[in-house]
């Protein structure tokens, strides 16, 4: 109930970091999340900062907002966040239970930066059922979209 994709970008980590850690830029790169905004007065990535993302599931719909919390923010190294709500603001898990975490890890490699985007679903009963029924479709779709996101960032950073 997890997946990851790594793309090599011919640029230093600081240039890649600026795009990955600024959630307001995600609409330029992601096939599903077409906009995001910081919440509670946050203006940038720091551990504990909250934001919401506007998602068009599978690029078709439904369209909904998710609320997220930054759980790792190590400049030029790692940016990760937990998703705490799904369609129509409904929780995807009981209170204080995380079911979805997204992360980006940057590593110096070959004169540039290897960027790994990954997701992990917590192994709760609802998520195990979901993954058993739809994981064979959703998993490859998520990995394809992670690659598309990183390739779009690569195009911008390398130009």
User: What is the model's pLDDT at position 100?
Assistant: 85
CA 125 to chain centre: 23
- Side-by-side strand order, sheet with 2-9: 2-9, 112-121, 100-109, 78-83, 63-74, 50-56, 33-38
For 61-118, the pLDDT digits (tens) are: 788 888 999 999 999 999 999 988 655 555 555 554 557 899 999 999 999 999 999 9
Given a cut of 80, whether residue 12 has pLDDT beyond it is yes
The mean-pLDDT minimum among 33-42, 60-69, 132-141 falls in 132-141
CATH number, position 54: 3.30.530.20
Report the number of distinct structural domains present in the chain.
1
By residue range, what is the domain housing residue 7?
A: 2-158
Query: What does the pLDDT read at residue 36?
Result: 97
The average pLDDT across 112-140 equals 84
**E strands along 10-111, which residues?**
33-38, 50-56, 63-74, 78-83, 100-109
Q: State the Cα–Cα distance between residues 93 and 119, nearest whole angstrom.
A: 16
Rounded to two decimals, the pTM is 0.88
């Amino acid at each position: 109930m997890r997946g990851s994709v790594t793309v090599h970008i011919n640029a230093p980590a600081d240039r890649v970091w600026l795009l990955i850690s600024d959630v307001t830029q995600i609409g330029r790169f992601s096939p599903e999340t077409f906009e995001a905004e910081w919440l509670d007065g946050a203006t940038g990535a720091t551990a504990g900062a909250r934001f919401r993302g506007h998602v068009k599931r599978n690029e078709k719909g439904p369209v909904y907002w998710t609320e997220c919390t930054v759980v790792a923010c190590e400049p030029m190294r790692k940016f990760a966040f937990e998703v705490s709500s799904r369609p129509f603001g409904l929780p995807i898990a009981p209170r204080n239970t995380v079911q979805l975490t997204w992360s980006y890890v940057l590593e110096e490699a070959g004169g540039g930066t290897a960027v790994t985007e990954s997701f992990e679903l917590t192994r709760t009963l609802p998520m195990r059922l979901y993954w058993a029924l739809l994981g064979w479709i959703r998993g490859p779709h998520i990995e394809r979209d992670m690659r598309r996101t990183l390739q779009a960032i690569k195009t911008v950073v390398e130009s």
